[in-house]
Amino acid sequence: MKILHITSQYPGMTGSGTYLKALIREAHKKGHRQGLLGAVQEGLEYDNPTLEYSDMVHFNTPEIPFPIMGMSDKMPYTSSIYKDMTKEDIARWEPKFAEGLRKALEDFQPDVILSNHLWLATSIVATLAGDIPVFGICHGTDIRQLHRVPWLAEKVIPGIQKLDGIFALTVDQMAAIERLYDVPIGKIHISGGGYDEKLFHPGPRQENPEETKLVYAGKLSYAKGLLPLLEAYEHLKQSYAVELTIVGSGEGEERDGIIRRGRELGVRFTGAVNQDELAAIFRESDIFVLPSYYEGLPLVIMEALACGLMVVTTDIPGLRGYMGERLTSSGLVQFVKLPRMIDIDTPLHEDYNQFVFNLKKTLDKQINIHNDGYNSFAPFKSEIDKLSWEGVFQRIENQF
């Protein structure tokens, strides 16, 4: 089977980029022939030798004189923000993307198309693909953009309704897609998210470590809850021998502010790392923390669990259901109540201090459990194994 993958972003460095890379890898294992239409700009290059066909829409050019449009408002590379874009900006991009799509359809002649994000690019693909089946993958950021940039809904929704099928990360997301895009529930399937079991696995555990090692991995942005994490960490340092590593990159004032505050507290910043390096950092750590205000399905939690880490995460909608009752009640994962929100990823100011307190209290609990020598990974390995990328791709392939 010939599969054409579509993304309007750079095919890497983000959660959806990791998802795309994993699907390409799993499809290659099964012998599928594959092509990709993505996006690049100066300073970002892409190469994948397993692809039979690859083409990129180029940004920051005379034809598209602005950076890649980011599905998140804060990207790990220079990007354009949809809510700041004009109709003229979109009109510059659309024909270049459509041109690249038509070329891919003619040159690669796919049997099926997998398009990332229920947004502009996928809507165009569904409209222009003719008789070729098109499946869209929801990553959560598309739903957020639908709230943030409602004037684009009339360009997005009609095309999404033409899709042959949609893959959602969670049951909660499935319901949101049905409601917001007015798509029949029978068209929506749960694919979930996963991890690479060859990279993410436990390593030797240090007996009686001198310090408890916390780690965060993701974008450096305020929407990820990093400022409350740093405040909670400042309090924890007064009671425990603890250190914090922050993995990831960002852009602009938010990144600079996070790094400046973190360095005052002795936080280690690694910048962006590849998956091998991330797995190695996880195996050197004890507790993974994700204080984010909003996520689709945070794949990095699966990767951390697979490395044997305990987890502290905000109670992100859909996460408990995807992980399953046995895993969420195992003690490996502790959930922090989200603050009330002004919008989808901005907390109400009045709830900020309480959120910091709740985060600190939950981290305190996991640190104590860890320091008492408790590690419940082994009995739940089979539950974690179900969340691998092999299972994700199998669920997608079954719908073709």
Domain boundary, last residue among 191, 225, 253: 191
Residue 208 has pLDDT above 70, yes or no: no
Range of 331's domain? 212-385
Nearest one of 125, 149, 117 to 35, comparing CA atoms: 125
Same domain, 349 and 227: yes
Indicate if 142 and 224 belong to the same structural domain: no
Given 140, 159, 191, which residue is the final one in a domain?
191
Cα(129)–Cα(23) distance, rounded to whole angstroms? Answer: 21
Question: Are both 20 and 76 inside the same structural domain?
Answer: yes
pLDDT computed for residue 304 by the predictor: 92
Q: State which H helix or E strand residue 124 sits in.
A: helix 120-128
Cβ distance 192 to 322 under 8 Å? yes
Residues 99 and 130 in one domain: yes
Same domain, 249 and 183: no
Alpha-carbon distance 197 to 25, whole Å? 13
400 is a domain residue? no
- In a domain, residue 301? The reply is yes
Residues 161 and 219 in one domain: no
Give residue for tokens 């100066």.
42
Instruction: Produce one character per residue of 208-239: b if its CB has 16 or more CB atoms within 10 Å, e if not.
Output: eeeebbbbbbbbbbbbbbbbbbbbbbbbbeee
| C-alpha to C-alpha distance for 44 and 177, rounded to whole angstroms | 32
Q: Is the pLDDT of residue 196 over 90?
A: no
Strands 341-343 and 346-347: antiparallel
Least trusted range by pLDDT, from 203-217, 260-274, 355-369, 372-386: 372-386
Higher pLDDT, residue 8 or 328: 8
pLDDT at residue 340 tops 70: yes
Binning pLDDT at 50, 70 and 90, where does residue 113 land? very high
Encode pLDDT of 4-43 as tens digits. Answer: 999 999 998 888 998 999 999 999 999 999 999 999 999 9
Which residues contact residue 277 at a Cβ distance below 8 angstroms, ignoring those fewer than 6 apart? Answer: 270
Instruction: Give domain status of residue 197, yes or no.
Output: no
Listed range (195-199, 237-241, 276-280) with the worst mean pLDDT: 195-199
Per-residue model confidence as pLDDT tens digits over 73-111: 888 899 999 999 999 999 999 999 999 999 999 999 999
Q: Give 380's DSSP letter.
A: G
Q: Which two tokens stand for residue 255?
A: 């990144």
For residue 129, being part of any structural domain is answered with: yes
Q: What is the pLDDT of residues 230-253, one digit of tens each?
A: 999 999 999 999 999 999 998 889
Is residue 14 included in any domain, yes or no?
yes
Shared-domain flag, residues 132 and 232: no
* Residue among 146, 145, 123, 119 nearest 134 (CA): 123
Q: Is residue 236, in this structure, part of any structural domain at all?
A: yes
374 pLDDT band, cuts 50/70/90, is low
Average pLDDT, the chain: 92
Which pair of structure tokens corresponds to residue 19? Answer: 């998802």
SS3 142: helix
Same domain, 31 and 87: yes
Instruction: Mark whether 180 and 321 lie in a shared domain.
Output: no
Taking alpha carbons only, the member of 261, 268, 287, 282 closest to residue 362 is 287
Count of the separate structural domains present in the chain: 2
Residues 28, 71 share a domain? yes
CA quadruple 349, 354, 358, 363: dihedral, nearest 10:
70
Check whether residue 235 and residue 350 sit in a common domain: yes
Give residue 376's pLDDT.
60
Q: Which two tokens stand for residue 314?
A: 């905000």
Residue of 41, 365, 373 lying closest to 207 (CA atoms): 373
Q: In the structure, what pLDDT confidence band is assigned to residue 226 with cuts at 50, 70 and 90?
A: very high
Task: From 156, 191, 226, give the residue that closes a domain.
Answer: 191
Say if strands 2-6 and 287-290 run parallel, antiparallel, or are unpaired: unpaired
Looking at the predicted structure, is the pLDDT value of residue 301 above 70? yes
CA nearest neighbour of 315 among 301, 336, 294, 331: 336
Closest CA to 305 of 336, 332, 273, 274: 332
- The pLDDT of residue 210 is 77
Q: pLDDT per residue over 127-158, tens digit each?
A: 999 999 999 999 999 999 999 999 999 999 99
pLDDT at residue 207, as a whole number:
62
Q: What CATH number is associated with residue 349?
A: 3.40.50.2000
Chain centre distance of CA 219: 10
**Domain-located, residue 198:** no
183 found inside a domain: yes
Question: Facing residues of 341 across strands?
Answer: 347
Lowest mean pLDDT among 107-121, 126-140, 164-178, 340-354: 340-354
Please indicate, yes or no, whether residues 378 and 250 belong to a single structural domain of this protein.
yes
